[in-house]
């Protein structure tokens, strides 16, 4: 079996500082491994599995995972990869979203080997003098050199003054929990490196860093993100996970197998050899099994086959449609020309004659990017929502 270091090196896009981390692992230091998540929506999604699997690997080797839920920083909004200021969330929104995280993470991680903190524990208690000391550890130039800020400055796009606090706040999380290692997606590299500098300013040994690939969302273009609404939540119903996975573009199957199936390279290669449709079905079944168990995977596969594959198979190359009124199911059915009026479309939906991703839906269903909309026996379209 390969060592933890070898597995990290194979999966990570970048490691800082690689030799230092390798040395710590080889001499079997017991490390505190940090991962931070902002509760900007109530669900964790499949993209989080990329890093959660790495964290579980650390746990299995005796290290402590320190999960920091950004119940304070989510109110600022992470500017990483953003071309505009995020809307600030209310305390109530953040608290409601954060509550769901504490259950979902244990679908992957070992509860007994996980520390969970909300960063309001320390950030919410800071006095003005504490904040000034934190801001004084770095220069304004060091913050503005990050790509998203630099791009917005060059284009004259506003940067909220509060956004400058985000990298400082996330960096201080590493100080508060005394992180030895921090892991995240490639979009978090600046924030994680910034954490090293702030730790050093507070007299701590800087954390090592490993960043991992970002999983593309269901449409196969942008990264999977709650704010982009192109995700599959890990707590979603098994049938929904299965159906949404079956709706992803074929070119994503190999990528998802490699990043979130939990299978090794040999198993992934064997599944891909089955061909596009069967490989995607194996992926869908595997994801449901990982998150809900083997029985749920069998049931989801049988349900999908009964409702979607055996009877009403969509064409291999689905047409795509971008609704004029995004997420409006009834309006979209009329807009496509499938039904002459909203009242007619409503009757069809009420009678179970239309579905999304192989599932019957109600009148209030909101369409999402990547959904496969079906009406009647032969009308299929993939929804695109910008």
Burial class from Cβ neighbours inside 10 Å (0-12, 13-18, 19+) for residue 50 reads buried
**Alpha-helical runs (H) found in the chain:** 4-11, 18-26, 46-60, 91-104, 120-123, 128-135, 140-144, 147-155, 165-177, 189-201, 238-246, 252-260, 265-272, 276-292, 294-304, 329-335, 342-350
- The pTM for the full model equals 0.75
Distance in angstroms between the alpha carbons of the first and the last residue of the chain:
44
- Please state, in angstroms and rounded to a whole number, the distance separating the CA atoms of residues 306 and 308: 6
Residue with tokens 């090196």: 9
CB 65 within 8 A of CB 114: yes
Burial 30-44 (b: 16+ CB within 10 A, else e): ebbbbbbbbbbbbbb
- Please state, in angstroms and rounded to a whole number, the distance separating the CA atoms of residues 51 and 359: 30
Instruction: State the pLDDT at residue 361.
Output: 83
Residue 279: strand, helix, or coil: helix
Residue with tokens 């509760």: 39
- Rounded to 10°, the helix 276-292/294-304 angle is 140
Could you state, in chain order, the average pLDDT of each consecutive group of 10 residues for the chain (386 residues)?
86 95 94 88 85 95 93 68 54 72 84 90 94 92 81 84 86 97 93 94 97 93 83 91 90 95 92 91 95 93 75 63 84 88 87 81 84 82 82
> What are all long-range contacts of 21-26, with beta carbons under 8 Å and residues at least 24 apart?
21/181, 21/208, 21/210, 24/180, 24/208, 25/61
Instruction: State the pLDDT at residue 349.
Output: 87
- Please state, in angstroms and rounded to a whole number, the distance separating the CA atoms of residues 161 and 368: 33
- Please state, in angstroms and rounded to a whole number, the distance separating the CA atoms of residues 131 and 128: 5
Distance from the Cα of residue 238 to its chain's centroid: 18
- Please state, in angstroms and rounded to a whole number, the distance separating the CA atoms of residues 111 and 131: 33
Cα Rg, the chain, nearest whole Å: 23
- Please state, in angstroms and rounded to a whole number, the distance separating the CA atoms of residues 89 and 73: 10
Instruction: State the pLDDT at residue 82.
Output: 47
């Amino acid at each position: 079996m390969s060592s933890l270091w070898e597995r990290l090196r194979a999966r990570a896009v970048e490691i800082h500082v690689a030799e230092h981390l390798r040395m710590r692992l080889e001499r079997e230091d017991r490390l505190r491994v940090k991962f931070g998540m902002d509760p900007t929506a109530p669900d964790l999604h499949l993209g989080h599995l990329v890093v959660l699997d790495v964290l579980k690997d650390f746990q299995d080797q005796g290290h402590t995972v320190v999960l920091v839920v950004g119940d304070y920083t989510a109110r600022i909004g992470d500017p990483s990869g953003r071309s505009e200021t995020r809307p600030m969330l209310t305390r109530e929104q953040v608290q409601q979203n954060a509550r769901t995280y504490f259950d979902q993470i244990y679908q992957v991680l070992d509860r007994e080997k996980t520390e969970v903190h909300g960063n309001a524990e320390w950030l919410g208690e800071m006095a003005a003098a504490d904040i000034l000391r934190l801001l004084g550890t770095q220069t304004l130039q060091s913050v503005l050199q990050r790509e998203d800020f630099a791009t917005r400055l060059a284009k004259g796009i506003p940067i909220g003054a509060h956004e400058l606090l985000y990298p400082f706040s996330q960096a201080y999380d590493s100080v508060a929990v005394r992180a030895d290692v921090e892991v995240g997606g490639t979009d978090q590299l600046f924030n994680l490196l910034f954490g090293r500098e702030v730790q050093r300013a507070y007299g701590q040994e800087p954390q090592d860093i490993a960043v991992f690939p970002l999983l593309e969302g269901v449409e196969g273009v942008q990264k999977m993100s709650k704010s982009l609404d192109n995700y599959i939540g890990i707590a979603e119903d098994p049938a929904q996970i299965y159906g949404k996975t079956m709706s992803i573009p074929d070119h994503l199957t190999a990528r998802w197998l490699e990043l979130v199936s939990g299978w090794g390279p040999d198993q992934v290669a064997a599944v891909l050899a089955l061909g596009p449709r069967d490989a995607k079905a194996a992926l869908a079944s595997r994801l449901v099994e990982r998150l809900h168990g083997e029985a749920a995977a069998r049931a989801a596969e049988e349900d999908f086959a009964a409702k979607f594959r055996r009877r009403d198979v969509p064409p291999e190359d689905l047409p795509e449609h971008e609704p004029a009124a995004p997420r409006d199911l009834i309006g979209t059915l009329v807009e496509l020309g499938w039904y002459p009026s909203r009242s007619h479309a409503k009757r069809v939906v009420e009678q179970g004659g239309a579905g999304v991703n192989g599932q019957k839906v109600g009148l209030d269903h909101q369409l999402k990017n990547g959904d496969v909309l079906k009406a009647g026996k032969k009308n299929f379209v993939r929804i695109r929502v910008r």
